[in-house]
Amino acid sequence: MIRSAFLVAVAILALTGCDPKEPISSGGPPEIRRLTEAQYRQTIADIFGDDITVAGRFEPDMRVSGLLAVGTGKVTVTPAGFEQYDSMAHGIARQVVDEKHRDKLVGCKPVAPNAPDDACATAFLRRIGLRLFRRPLDNDELKGDVEVADAAARTLGDFYAGLEYGLAGLLAAPEFLFREEQTEPDPDHPGQQRLTAYSMAARISFLLWDMSPDAELLAAAERGDLHNPKLLARQVDRLLASPRLEQGARAFFADMLGFDAFDSLAKDSLIYPKFSLKVANDAKEQTLRTLVDELIVRKGDYRDIFTSRKTFLTRTLGMLYKVPVQTRSGWEPHVFDPGDERAGLLSEISFLALHSHPGRSSATLRGKAIRELLLCEQVPMPPPNVNFAIVQDTNNPQFKTARERLTAHRTNPTCAGCHKMIDPIGLGLENFDGAGQYRATENGVPIDASGEIDGIAFKDAAGLGRAMHDDPAAVACLVADAYRYATGREIASGEKDYMAWLRDGFAEDGYKFPKLLRRIALSQDFYRISGPAGSSTVREAQR
């Protein structure tokens, strides 16, 4: 009896993705999130094609609670930023209606090329408006936009020039630039709100593909499929099976690992002559490639990212890793030997170089990064007026290794508390210098890379990787980050049980990352709206 009930539950989960064990939770508020540069570019490419150039400068993103994704709900557009968006909108629209693209992209021909054509303009703007706004334009929006196109066509004596203005209006609209989540009364739970099907589609698509929903997903939303668990699962599985899932996974991990910091990463070229902008770019790509391969292509166990010796290298990186790379230009797979010092994410140059100083390694920065990025813990800022002289002087004959310098630094009781929490972790990576290159000694003294993390002792970087692999906090951090990334907000107090359910499910699924994404995308909490009934729109919020 119990067995059959279990089998029924499993069957329901497999077919519909709806887990009857999902606890009732609070959900959260609808969010209004600005598109990231990548999302903007990927959406334009998807709708109009790769050959449409997007030229302009994007407003900087803001990292909130460790994620840019959360920050997208906290940022606005400055007047200067809006000018950029407007300029990009016209640049894109001009290309879409030019002679090279118009036949393919506009989809209809005007009766006369030198005069307005309501029917053609309406058909085009309705179709593209759906893709850009991620929902159908309402009558007023469509009418207003067609009027703009018509008026411009009359003035300029050119239908396509008019259409450019109409399209640019959509591209510069806040409804495109911001992911505006709309709600509606939940018929299954009177008095409560739920996301509209179109807003559900956007959440799914941005989570899995890091771009606006495609036409098929929007069509499913229009049909109401997304409120049907079985049909929702069909769409989610379609997106999960697409090669675009890699794009979504890259966006998530680049955010989680703080890879935007690569934009300002610099090393002292006299100390690290091999380190260059190319190395930095390749190091970032190496890690993303490795993660995608491990988690998406091979559908591996997330915990293995801390221990796996499989990666990808270019010749540029091969110089720093000191391994041969056969491929003259481009990437090739590489497997570090079981006895090699390199194992897992923490021993990749991206992590090691990003969390170091320009001219020296930093056990403190690395330990802090592990605590914050990979274990989701908050490390306090150092108190003001701290004397870093001992730590910074790598040539002090009295303190030849980082361990000796940090030990001396920790004699200051103000600093000791935090350093005790982070240094023993970071010291495990001291066999790698500030550029991520292996070294056995520092200033002629053999490096002791032993340490401990939350009571688990290790001898070296590989040992630290194994400790991270086995640390439940690392798994919990990924689950929390994935959910916060998906919703663009902090986890609500009413979602504690839900998060525990996600974590348990992740373990049951063998820590497979795509299954975690599927579980989130099919869960009811993901679409549940907390707070009083009512809807808000970008325009309302702006008022």
Partner 1 sequence: MTGKSVKSALLAALLAAGASSAWAAESSDTKGFVVTHFAFASYDDEAADCPDGLNLSAKDIYLQSLPAGERDRLSKPEAQKELWTLLYAPGGNLGPGKRTHNRCADPADFESPPLRTVQGKIADGMDLDGGDPANTCAHQKFTSPDGKSGIDNQLWRAMGCIRGWRHGADIEKYAQDNIKAGEYTILLEIQGLKDPRNDAHVKVGIYSSTDQASVDAQGNVLPDASLQVHEDPKYRTVADGKVVDGVVMTKPVDLRLKYRSAGYVDTDFYIRGARLKLTLKPDGTASGMLGGYYDVETLYDGFIRQPQVVTSVLLGYSCPAVYAALNQFADGYPDSKTGKCTAISTAFRLDAIPAFVIHPKDEKKMAEAGSAK
Q: Which residues bind partner 1 (CB under 8 A)?
A: 269-270, 273-274, 276, 309-310, 313, 315-316, 318-320, 322-326, 328, 332-340
Nearer to partner 1, 187 or 444 (CB): 444
Nearest distance, CB of residue 270 and partner 1, angstroms: 8
User: By C-beta, is 311 or 523 nearer to partner 1?
Assistant: 311
Q: How far is the CB of 432 from partner 1 (least distance, A)?
A: 15
> 84: which 2 tokens?
């950029």
Nearer to partner 1, 243 or 339 (CB): 339
| Smallest separation (angstroms) from partner 1 to the CB of 442 | 17
Q: Can you tell me which residue has the tokens 């110089």?
A: 319
Task: Between 158 and 294, name the residue whose CB sits nearer to partner 1.
Answer: 294
Judged by beta carbon, residue 81 or residue 300, the one nearer partner 1 is 300
Q: Are 69 and 484 in contact (CB under 8 A)?
A: yes
Burial 184-212 (b: 16+ CB within 10 A, else e): eebeeeeebbbbbbbbbbbbbbbbbbbbb
Query: Do residues 171 and 94 lie in contact, with contact meaning Cβ atoms separated by under 8 Å?
Result: no
Residue with tokens 């959260």: 28
Encoding tokens for residue 451?
Answer: 């340490």
CB of 446 to partner 1, least distance (A): 17
Nearer to partner 1, 194 or 309 (CB): 309
As measured in angstroms, the least distance from the Cβ of 12 to partner 1 is 39
Report the residue number, 337 or 540, with the smaller CB distance to partner 1. 337
| Residue found by looking up tokens 């009418």 in the block | 143
Residues 405, 416 contacting (CB under 8 angstroms): no
Nearer to partner 1, 219 or 323 (CB): 323
Nearest approach, Cβ of 277 to partner 1 (angstroms)?
A: 11
Other CB atoms within a 10 A radius of the CB of residue 113 amount to: 14
Torsions phi, psi for 358 (to 5 deg):
-60, -30
Q: What is the nearest approach in angstroms of partner 1 to the Cβ of residue 39?
A: 32
Contacts with 78 (C-beta within 8 Å, 6 or more apart), sequence order: 59
Least distance (Å) from partner 1 to the CB of residue 499?
37
The position carrying tokens 């697409």 is 242
Closest CA to 406 of 455, 373, 361: 361
- Only one residue has tokens 């579980």, namely 519
Helix (H) or strand (E) holding 178: strand 178-180
Question: Buried b / exposed e across 424-435, counting CB within 10 Å, b at 16+?
Answer: bbbbbbbbbbbb
